[in-house]
Structure 1
Amino acid sequence: MPFVELLVLLADVNTTRLDPLHELLAPQSHVTALVNTLIVLLLVATVVALVSRRLRTPYVIGLVLAGLVIPQESLPENIGLNPEIILNLFLPILIFEAAINTDLSRLRSTIKPIFLLAGPGVVLSAAITATLLQFGLGLAWITACAIGVILTITDTVSVIVTFRNVPVPPRLASIVEGESLFNDGTALVLLSVITGIHVSGTFSLGQGIAEIFIAFVGGGILGSGLGYLCVGLFQELDDALSNILLTVAVSLGTFQVGQVLGVSGAIAVVTAGLVIGGLGFRQTSASTRVTLLNFWEYAGFGVNTFIFLLVGIEVKPGILWMTIPAALLAIAAYQVGRICAIYPLLYGLGFYDHPLPLKWQHVLIFGNVKGSLSMALALSLPATLPDRSQVITLVFSTVLVSLVVQGLSLPSLVKRLNLSRISPIQKQIESLQLNLIAAKAAQNELGILLASGSLPKFLYEELFASYQSRVASSEKDLREMYNQRIISGNEEGDEAKYLKGVYRRLYVAEKGAINDAIRKGILSEDIGRDYINSLNEKLLVIKDDN
């Protein structure tokens, strides 16, 4: 769906009928205002991206802070967060994008801690959070339970952005990503049960367990069925554009079918995404796979950009300031719940699976940042729920304080924990790279000075030779390190990672040159596309190995 249409839905327009001329001109002026707003928001997001990169802060936090300074009254028709749009459009896109990029082999190796955290961990954490909020804020039990579930959802985007800037062990990153895939589904199922209890006014433990079982098992079966159906269609289609349309239809349609059947749409989308990413992409050519992955990466990035910008716009600074004490209490409550769930459960994990280091558990706790889905669920609560308006304000303030405070402090915490130490070999490689980069840059500058007449030739030759000796020495050491690794039979060390990075850049450069030659008519498309497909295969192999 184009973002202009999306903003039209977010605006929820109520047009007043006046006369035929007004009816003719009003939609045009409204669409123009929406387009102008879209342009402004995109420019704001671009500026935030540049500033965030300079300051080395998470991009999503910058978006939220930027949204705070944008007055909501300046936007047409009160554009803001619409829970139906987030749950039915944004959530399936984000879940599907994460699922298709999940490595099934890595997921299998971490499935025990993931299910432990996304299942019993969510239930235990929500129960403790609800209890603390009920006693701390004097809320009704049904309201406290709803907030407890809403605040168990973790915004993985902020955590993954941190992991990209600060190196962490791959297994820890897989656990965080895998937990987020199933965490949302668990929370949505629990909130549905709580809402049903509130509406009906009765509670049956057996019925609640049955609803949860049906939601999870039914969602898994539905997602698997639609995922394998999509895999079969992938075998018939090898057109990138058709496959993009197919995956969009499956991601959004699976969620809607799950809602209609009364099973978990989120779990269904996760399962379908895992099946398609693990099996379906193998049925397509490398070029189609690269196109699909690039499209979904852009879709996820665009959705997150608008969500977090709208989060900041939705929260009014004055109300935020007044509710900070309650928000800090809520943060303390859900962190206590997270602590009581993480440490005991992962301690028990060590008796039947690989134990997780204590430092990793610290990251899982302090990386418990809240995000836009919590806000969307708060907006979707029944109107008859006690203290609903106060709940929405509390959740909004809690999410914003969590994003800013926890999000900004998380990178420094991960650095202090020193989770991923650079090996001596990696340090040596980087030292040799430094010598090569510096010496080559100096030689290039010497050539410029010689060509311009600013440097006599005898001095140029003398200085060039001194730098060349540094280049030769560094290249010799790198060659010896690589050859020793080959002789020892271990090609997956730090040198291999270094070489993969070099090859990735070379393959991308080759693709750019071939595409330019095809556009200019120097090469025929048949020959050029075959070579590009082979480069795509090599790029995919490098990506899978990392």
Structure 2
Amino acid sequence: MSHTRGRSLPLLPVLPFLLADLSLAAVTAKPEPSADLATTLTICLLGATLVALISRRFRIPYVTGLVLAGLTITNLLPRRLGIDSGLILNLFLPILVFQAAINTDISRLRSSFAPISVLAGPGILLATGVTASVLKFGLNLDWIPALLVGSILAITDTVSVIAVFREIAVPSRLTTIVEGESLFNDGVALVIFGLIVELQAGEQVTAISAVQSFFLVVLGGGLLGLATGYLASGLFRTLADDSLSGILLTVAVAFGTFQLGEALNVSGVVAVVVAGLTVGNLALDRAQSPSSRLTLINFWEYAAFCVNTFIFLFIGVEVDPRSLLQTLPAVLLAIVAYQLARLVTVYPLMALVNRFDRPIPFRWQHVLFLGNIKGSLSMVLALSLPATLGNRSELVNLVFGVVLLSLVVQGLSLPWFVKRLKVATRSTRSQEAEQLQAQLIAGKAVQSELLNLYDAGVLPKAVHEELRARYQLAIAGAEQSLRGLYNRRSTNLRNSAAPAFSSLQRRLLLVEKNALLDSARKGILTEEAIADRLQVIDAELLRAEAD
């Protein structure tokens, strides 16, 4: 096992050089001199490293720092960078989407399915329409360009928002909603974008055919992703815990699923999302050891980090401050347009969700509205605008300027707004409970791995018992302390200072509800017999605090 892990690590450091080399080679008419290429790579990597150090020291969002660094190093590069849109769509996009999907827990998505589906479905359609309407009449654009930019600016970038959440504690359900919306609205926005491109190319698209095509593309992509995800999950069981082969398999799934989806005229992005969710929730949890899973997750995190680093640097490098000043009025209008679209999307739709699902607090809705930051995927779509579009360069510059100001202004101000909103107030006891739970989870995971090693013959019995006893002491101490906290809170599990306990209560209620529904499906109990208890459980779930 250690030999396998050692073989997988050398792949990681070469990834940024590979990405940069491919991107530069895709747009240069002649091979660039090796000295210029080496200088360009060195400056970009040094700039990214310096940004990482500064952002950690001053708590500045990393992606915002990259954009500002790109503006700074523009004049230091031997020549301006450029990225081919085909390269972005076929190489960068599957990496970003698959990495987000493979790290997403489906059970968390199910618990917040209603707000995620509403925001990523009707929400993005509404946002596209509102943004396009404002741009159409404000900038005197034709409907096709306005709708294309509207679909591009309807996408939310989760990288910047989640970076803020890592520094400022927010409820886990709010984080899940933000991640889930971003994960699925990427696919929906790309489908909308593709339909508008078909319309721009002169194809006959009616309202009925557009709706049919939309659902066919989304559903077909989902089925394709499910098939490739299940196939990959089965192959994982044959790898015998080979982390290098696991990495190669996931890379093949990510790129192969995307290309197959495009070849079948279904959504490649939706297919990659579903495949990543399937692999992450079936194969990684059941087919591989914790060490192999960690290696694979680290690989994808590093790959997405390299892609995001390159794209955000590219934003700063490619934006000309002088042209930005010239287009500033149009950029500001576009920002007003997508913020207005977000306003009429979040608050009315969340008010609707609150009628039939666990309520979304008003402060959370403010975070969803203010966290409407644009990022890498908007850049990807802007660069993939059809070459036959009349004012393509102006639209690309418009999106570039919007993304730049969004990352700088919203990215820097969002932490301050989240703190002011006080969406999460955690007591000392709540933090103590979480620390004890972390000790229990880690300790029991280690004991499980020790048992696997002992059963496999790797550890002798004496060593296994000694190490297991060492962790058992820590587990016993954490259990005793945690039991004391539970006893002190047993009279009121729903008070505002006990989010961990109310979260446990909701989890137990969901287990109880699932058991009753399963018994009815199997014919053990009738629906009438469980109806009253289900109503009580639903009422308890609605009254429980949202973590």
| Same fold (TM > 0.5) | yes
* Deviation, structure 1 residue 104: 1.2
CA displacement, residues 349-399 of structure 1 (integer Å, 9 cap, x when unaligned): 112111211111111111000112212212211122232221111111111
Map of 2:345 onto structure 1: 341
Q: One-letter code of the match for 1:101?
A: N
Map of 1:294 onto structure 2: 298
Q: One-letter code of the match for 2:415?
A: P
* Secondary structure, aligned partner of 2:201: helix
Map of 2:512 onto structure 1: none
Map of 2:171 onto structure 1: 169
Rg bigger for which structure? 1
Q: One-letter code of the match for 1:499?
A: L
Unaligned runs of 5+ in 1: 17-26, 427-493, 515-524
Q: Does 2:501 align with 1:497?
A: no
Q: Does 2:115 align with 1:113?
A: yes
Is residue 98–residue 273 contact of structure 2 (8 Å, CA) maintained in 1?
Answer: yes
Map of 2:251 onto structure 1: 248
* Deviation, structure 1 residue 112: 1.2
Moved over 6 A (4+): 503-510
* 1:452-491 equivalences in 2 (<5 Å): none
* Deviation, structure 1 residue 83: 2.1
Q: One-letter code of the match for 2:118?
A: L
Distance 1:501 1:424, change over 3 A: closer
Map of 1:198 onto structure 2: 200
Which stretch of the first structure deviates more once superposed, 285-294 or 377-386?
Answer: 377-386
CA displacement, residues 91-119 of structure 1 (integer Å, 9 cap, x when unaligned): 11111111111111111101111111001
Map of 1:277 onto structure 2: 280
* Deviation, structure 1 residue 504: 8.3
Separation in structure 2 between the aligned mates of residue 346 and residue 509 of structure 1, nearest angstrom: 41
Map of 2:310 onto structure 1: 306
Separation in structure 2 between the aligned mates of residue 116 and residue 75 of structure 1, nearest angstrom: 47
* Deviation, structure 1 residue 35: 3.3
Q: What's the TM-score, normalizing by structure 1?
A: 0.77
Q: Does 2:23 align with 1:10?
A: yes
Separation in structure 1 between the aligned mates of residue 137 and residue 168 of structure 2, nearest angstrom: 38
* Secondary structure, aligned partner of 1:200: coil
CA displacement, residues 266-297 of structure 1 (integer Å, 9 cap, x when unaligned): 11011001100100011112221111111111
* 1:398-413 equivalences in 2 (<5 Å): 398-413=402-417
Map of 1:131 onto structure 2: 133
Q: What's the TM-score, normalizing by structure 2?
A: 0.77
Separation in structure 2 between the aligned mates of residue 411 and residue 73 of structure 1, nearest angstrom: 32
Separation in structure 2 between the aligned mates of residue 313 and residue 422 of structure 1, nearest angstrom: 41
CA displacement, residues 328-349 of structure 1 (integer Å, 9 cap, x when unaligned): 1100001101111111111111
Separation in structure 1 between the aligned mates of residue 306 and residue 89 of structure 2, nearest angstrom: 16
CA displacement, residues 469-519 of structure 1 (integer Å, 9 cap, x when unaligned): xxxxxxxxxxxxxxxxxxxxxxxxx43312345678999999xxx9xxxxx
CA displacement, residues 514-540 of structure 1 (integer Å, 9 cap, x when unaligned): 9xxxxxxxxxx9449x97xx99xx9xx
Map of 1:64 onto structure 2: 67
* Secondary structure, aligned partner of 1:369: coil
Is residue 27–residue 82 contact of structure 2 (8 Å, CA) maintained in 1?
Answer: no
Separation in structure 2 between the aligned mates of residue 30 and residue 253 of structure 1, nearest angstrom: 33
Separation in structure 1 between the aligned mates of residue 255 and residue 203 of structure 2, nearest angstrom: 32
Separation in structure 1 between the aligned mates of residue 304 and residue 443 of structure 2, nearest angstrom: 27
Separation in structure 1 between the aligned mates of residue 110 and residue 167 of structure 2, nearest angstrom: 26
* Deviation, structure 1 residue 141: 1.0
Map of 2:11 onto structure 1: none
Map of 1:53 onto structure 2: 56
Is residue 7–residue 34 contact of structure 1 (8 Å, CA) maintained in 2?
Answer: no
Map of 2:358 onto structure 1: 354
Separation in structure 2 between the aligned mates of residue 293 and residue 361 of structure 1, nearest angstrom: 31
Separation in structure 2 between the aligned mates of residue 72 and residue 186 of structure 1, nearest angstrom: 38
* Deviation, structure 1 residue 155: 1.1
CA displacement, residues 391-450 of structure 1 (integer Å, 9 cap, x when unaligned): 111111111011101111100000000011022524xxxxxxxxxxxxxxxxxxxxxxxx
Map of 1:149 onto structure 2: 151
Map of 2:326 onto structure 1: 322
Map of 1:395 onto structure 2: 399
Which of 233, 238, 250 does residue 236 from structure 1 map onto?
A: 238
Separation in structure 2 between the aligned mates of residue 182 and residue 75 of structure 1, nearest angstrom: 39
Separation in structure 2 between the aligned mates of residue 248 and residue 201 of structure 1, nearest angstrom: 35
Is residue 7–residue 79 contact of structure 1 (8 Å, CA) maintained in 2?
Answer: no
Q: One-letter code of the match for 1:53?
A: R
Separation in structure 1 between the aligned mates of residue 343 and residue 66 of structure 2, nearest angstrom: 29
Number of residue equivalences:
445
Unaligned runs of 5+ in 2: 1-13, 451-456, 479-503, 505-546
Map of 2:384 onto structure 1: 380
Which stretch of the first structure deviates more once superposed, 379-388 or 148-157?
Answer: 379-388
Is residue 375–residue 396 contact of structure 1 (8 Å, CA) maintained in 2?
Answer: yes
Q: One-letter code of the match for 2:217?
A: A
Distance 1:310 1:128, change over 3 A: same
Distance 1:367 1:15, change over 3 A: closer
Q: Does 2:425 align with 1:421?
A: yes
Is residue 43–residue 77 contact of structure 2 (8 Å, CA) maintained in 1?
Answer: no
Separation in structure 1 between the aligned mates of residue 300 and residue 287 of structure 2, nearest angstrom: 18
